[in-house]
Structure 1
Amino acid sequence: MKKMHYVLMLMGLALFSTTTTFAKSEASLRAEGGISGYGGAILYHVHPTVNLVLGYNGGGISWKNQLSILGAQTDLKVENDVSYFNINYYPWGKSDNPWLSALYTSIGMGYVDNKYNLHRNFRLGEKRPGILNNSFFPKNKEVDVRGYVDFSNGISPYFGLGFSPQLNEHRGVFTEVGLYYVGEATAHVTHINKHKLPGFVPANFTTFKLGNHNFVAWSPVAKTGVTYRF
């Protein structure tokens, strides 16, 4: 699946090369960071009202650090890995008002390959899910549970709203909020007390479909950054 990231990066290099060759002022670079990670993007200004955006976000920034699984709160560690392609539309892009012309909507798609790792240690005497209270895991021993979460969508549709004013001819700033539809979440328990599953406990213990009360199918985006227009 990593090949998708490489394809998008090559597309970005081709886009950047084309825009800087044929129209000096039609290409921008931006650096960005937020709850969906940090990274950057290449922008191609097709028209005063339309931009094409190709970017990447990564890193261990998380909007959610706990997840309810087996009836207990479990620590959640996120490693972002998102390549995206968006189209930004500026409804008032031709306006003489610099603040009004900076408003835009964004639609597109992202290849969301985030890693969501689970971990919970149940100490002696601590209340724990009933499925752990069996002959394998007596109450007089600690239980260490590890696993991960994935989603049904690899390619995820995106919608966002943003504001990107130019400070001068070349430099600007931006902020954007949005949502990826990542689909249904599934939790997989892969290790308990350092024993790999399945086989150590009943097979139906290894996978859990998570409803929206545990993990939403929409992954939020909130980021800000700086831009440089050539």
Structure 2
Amino acid sequence: MKTLHKILAISVLATAASSVMAADETIVTNDGVAEFSFFKPGSVRAEVGTTGYGGAISWSANPYVGVTLGYNGGDISWSDDLSINGSEYDLDMENNLTYLNAEIRPWANWFYMAAGVGYIDNDYDIQRRVGASEGFTVNGTDFVAGTGGANISGQLSYKNNLAPYVGIGFSPSITNRWGVFGEIGAYYNGNPQANLTATGTAVTTQPGVDFISAVEQEERDIENDNKYEWLPVAKLGVSFRF
């Protein structure tokens, strides 16, 4: 898999480099020799969003079709909590995403549609602490924490997955070379691997259910609930054309 990513990266970068060299055309006018930039196919950009921060390099075959290779990573997150079956967990996110997208501009303007694939290796550390005698819910069951409180900790992981992507975006120019962009979309990644551990004590009035078994059931629900199959994307950034 790592070899495939290297081949994709080298081929896209080589194509972009060769196109940049041909971007400026020298022509002869009535006033003499001039250099005319008829099309700037190459660009680089910096971006930040729900999948972390990073950058990308793009190459456009023409004003309608382009390709972008990028990477997002880091522990940035736009929310400090995660809701699972109505339970609120503290969230610590570690992103690791490499992507390759084709971008289609149907009207050759600032609007584009993106489709591609991402290699996703994201980790989400989650934790939920409940104080003594506090009420809380796990997997739809109401509990009251014991004298020492209760704790649920664990990890959600999207590991080593090639995930298809669709999105839409806008990339208006500010100057001849500088621009801004924004994009929203989603990766279809399948359910994450889940691992939750319950510590402490908690009681419920519901017969046949205990704290540990409820947490184990919540773990299974995460791994089988369709709503966790999609990884949403929203990002903004700046671009430079050359």
Using the size of structure 1 for normalisation, the TM-score is: 0.76
Aligned length: 208
Counterpart contact for 2:122–2:158, Cα < 8 Å? no
Deviations 1:116-145 (A, max 9, x none): 111011211122468999xxxx82222332
SS in 2 for 1:11: helix
Counterpart contact for 1:34–1:223, Cα < 8 Å? yes
Query: Which position in structure 2 is the counterpart of 1:196?
Result: none
SS in 1 for 2:94: strand
Counterpart contact for 1:119–1:145, Cα < 8 Å? yes
Query: Which position in structure 2 is the counterpart of 1:90?
Result: 105
Counterpart contact for 2:121–2:160, Cα < 8 Å? no
Structure 1 segments unaligned to the other structure (5+ residues)? 94-100, 194-200
Counterpart contact for 1:125–1:140, Cα < 8 Å? yes
Deviations 1:31-66 (A, max 9, x none): 111222111001111121111111011122335522
SS in 2 for 1:16: helix
Say if 2:14 is the partner of 1:17: yes
Counterpart contact for 2:19–2:42, Cα < 8 Å? no
Tell me which structure has the larger Cα radius of gyration: 2
Larger strand percent: 2
Structure 2 segments unaligned to the other structure (5+ residues)? 24-40, 201-211
SS in 1 for 2:172: coil
**Aligned positions of 1:125-144 closer than 5 A:** 125-128=133-136, 139-144=146-151
CA, structure 1 residues 209+186, in 2 after alignment: closer, same or farther (shift >3 Å)?
farther
**Aligned positions of 1:139-178 closer than 5 A:** 139-151=146-158, 154-178=161-185
- How large is the RMSD of aligned CA atoms in angstroms? 3.3
Alpha-carbon shift at residue 166 of structure 1 (Å): 2.6
Query: Which position in structure 2 is the counterpart of 1:197?
Result: none
Alpha-carbon shift at residue 219 of structure 1 (Å): 1.8
Counterpart contact for 2:102–2:115, Cα < 8 Å? yes
**Aligned positions of 1:115-130 closer than 5 A:** 115-128=123-136
Alpha-carbon shift at residue 176 of structure 1 (Å): 1.0
Query: Which position in structure 1 is the counterpart of 2:120?
Result: 112
- Alpha-carbon distance between aligned partners in 1 of 2:63 and 2:164, rounded to the nearest angstrom: 24
% identity of equivalent residues: 34
